[in-house]
Amino acid sequence: MLNNQFLNLDVDGAVATLSLNAPQKLNAFNQEMRLGLLEAIQLIEEDDAVRVVIFTGAGRAFSAGADLSEGMPGYDTFVDQCAAEYKPWVMGIHNSSKIYIAAVNGACAGAASAVAMNCDLMIMAEDAFIYQAFSAIGLMPDIGATWLLLQKIGYQRAFEMAIDAGRLSANECLELGLANKVVAPEELMSAASEWAHKLSQGAPLAQQATKSLMRKAFNMSYSQVIDEEAVLQSSLIKSEDAVNASEAFLNKQKPTFKGR
């Protein structure tokens, strides 16, 4: 059970919804929220029943990024603060075997843009936008945003976004491949929930293997990827899920996946 005034965690069967809950400050990441996110991600990871996670923000924004009014309480440098309060839960999402969907409403700025891009999938409201606010206050992208932007939109566009306080609308994010879907604002959470529940009925072992390899493939050669695919596929072929699904396919039936 998560006890944090700045976060809400709800579980509905195989789908968890993690909501930032500081709408009066556009869900800016304060220290209590950051520490709570580490706890929340750990709780989600320990819950074997949860297969898909929706990450969103309460109110009219996903998040305005870091709460700059706090400074760095308890730390001498941002290096120390990042290592303790950001990187553990961001990498928790990155390394998780579960699927994370960012449901982006309104502003998604600064550090929050890195969090949204770090999720496996993204659905955005039509009036939502991603804003690289860092250079507007004399800073550079952080929490992995430079890596994520490079991987997703290429050097020239990523560099422009970083140094020009770039802002991308939901439709621009869709065109660039940052977002998977764009829906009306009033449909965001229902569409995200429907998508999450559909994904939760998929083949968990195959989903986990695909995420694991795709997260590593950027740092591997084509040849290495082919070899790793073969290793993972060999294991999947022998799984109960694949055997039963193949039989269901031949009998024109819908398969039921059990994760084994």
Q: What span, in angstroms and rounded, lies between the C-alpha atoms of 237 and 230? A: 10
Both 227 and 181 in one domain: the answer is no
Across residues 159-169, what is the average pLDDT?
A: 90
Q: Is there a domain that residue 255 lies in?
A: no
Structural domain span for residue 223: 204-250
Q: Is 180's pLDDT higher than 80?
A: yes
The model's pTM is 0.93
pLDDT tens by residue, 120-163: 999 999 999 999 988 888 988 999 999 999 999 999 999 998 99
214 and 168 housed in the same domain: no
Kindly state whether residues 214 and 196 are assigned to the same domain.
no
Question: 157 φ, ψ to 5°?
Answer: -70, -40
Rounded to whole angstroms, what are the CA distances from 52 to 42, 93, 135, 213? 14, 11, 34, 18
| pLDDT tens digits, 82-112 | 999 999 999 999 999 999 999 999 999 999 9
Q: Does one domain contain both 122 and 218?
A: no
